[in-house]
Amino acid sequence: MPWQEVSTMSLRKEFVTLAIQTDANLSELCRRFGISRKTGYKLLDRYRSDGPDGLRSGSRRPHDSPQRTAASIERAIVELRQAHPAWGARKLLRRLRDLGYRDLPAPSTGHAILKRCGCIDPEESDKHKAFIRFERDQPNSLWQMDFKGHFALMNGSRCHPLTVLDDHSRFDLALRACANEQGSTVQAQLTALFRRYGLPDSIGIDNGPPWGDSYAQPYTPLTVWLIRQDITVWHSRPYHPQTLGKDERFHRTLKAEVLARQNFPDLHTVQSAFDTWREVYNFERPHDALDGNTPATRYRPSTRAFLETLPPIEYAPHCHVRKVDQNGHFSFKGHRMHVSKAFYSQPIALRESIHDGIWDVYFGHQKINSIDLRDYKSLT
């Protein structure tokens, strides 16, 4: 049995005092004190050479450890961790390499250094549920957009963080501290975004306001405006946030590295913190899914310019064009049909599909519905 931790020194002193006496039975003493004969002899040797100090627990680390990480590297790892408390060893070491450090240890060693220096909370867990991954092959092929859950500010108001992420590069295009989640607010933010980075081919969004009234009615004035910009709009599957997985993962990172670590008095202070962190995220923070590279190394602005003035919508001659009334209705082949109030006063087009009796409804370049005239009941 090992020594009792609460009285190790007193037990060792008692053992050697008895063991050095004349005619002492060392084997029996070892049995009674619950230690091996090898340990007993080792204690006697240490006591005879160093006196009582030889009974203290000494480090088993060798006097010379050529494989140990240099103190300067350990210090750099710890200091960078203190600057970015949510970063793990892999990210920290990649960032140090990008900063010019050499002879860096393996991630497992880096993790051990963080643990030894008290930089890791014992209750921390890295067991996160993984999102289903997919990736577009070019920047601006798809942007993912959503609001992070709103939170209270010290002045009594609330912040609604709007996030826009490029799917290919994970580049954070927008991180805005908004006062609400209204469509007009989002449109103003996107206008500034489009002017800086150009237009994406498509945008993935959720189903709730301001992106849509519901899954059955996914169009709002905001999404109509996006389609007018020649952007394809697609909505995530209901109750499946993994279809916007990269933006969801970005929200977790934002919470861990910014929102969970401080309280904010007002929107201005939040935006200042967002701007500082966004620069770190895009240009400094290594991204595991990018082989440790930063999002900025993979992003390029779009060549498609923002349309300051929207051109009229034109359809091919074979299309049947109808205008939507204020209730979202239009007439076609003797039927009164419904699309969405969001298309009020806008021209839509109906094209016969390859299936008999099925007509596809388009707004601009995007199909917004399909109608089966064989089993269609007119609206009353």
> pLDDT by residue (tens digit) across 162-219?
999 999 999 999 999 999 999 999 999 999 999 999 999 999 998 878 887 665 678 9
Instruction: Label residue 1 by pLDDT band (50, 70, 90).
Output: very low
Helices (H), 147-207: 183-197
Using one digit for the tens of pLDDT, what is the confidence trace for 119-145?
A: 776 544 443 444 445 678 899 999 999
Angle between helix 221-228 and 183-197 (nearest 10): 20
Tokens coding 38: 């090898």
How do beta strands 329-332 and 320-323 pair? unpaired
Residue from 140, 145, 110, 91 nearest 291 by CA: 91
Residue 338's φ and ψ, nearest 5 degrees, are -130, 140
Determine whether 95 is exposed, middle or buried from the number of CB atoms within 10 Å of its CB (0-12, 13-18, 19+). Answer: buried
Element (H, E) at 72: helix 71-83
What fold is seen in the domain 143-297?
Nucleotidyltransferase; domain 5 (3.30.420)
**How many CB atoms are closer than 10 A to CB 150?**
15
Residue from 166, 199, 202, 233 nearest 307 by CA: 199
Report d(CA 256, CA 126) in Å as an integer: 12
pTM (two decimals): 0.67
Give residue 321's region: left, alpha or beta (phi > 0; psi -120 to 50).
beta
Mean pLDDT of 250-255: 93
Using one digit for the tens of pLDDT, what is the confidence trace for 265-319?
A: 999 999 999 999 999 999 999 988 888 899 999 999 999 999 999 999 999 999 9
Mean pLDDT of 223-233: 95
Asked if 224 and 148 touch (Cβ cutoff 8 Å), the reply is no
Domain range annotation of the chain: 5-55, 71-116, 143-297, 320-375
**How many CB atoms are closer than 10 A to CB 357?**
12
Asked if 326 and 344 touch (Cβ cutoff 8 Å), the reply is yes
3 state DSSP class of 182: coil
Using one digit for the tens of pLDDT, what is the confidence trace for 315-363?
A: 999 999 999 999 999 999 888 999 999 999 999 999 998 888 899 999 9
**How many CB atoms are closer than 10 A to CB 279?**
13
Residues paired with 224 in a beta bridge: none
Place of tokens 């990018």: 290
How do beta strands 151-152 and 158-166 pair? antiparallel
Mean pLDDT of 30-39: 85
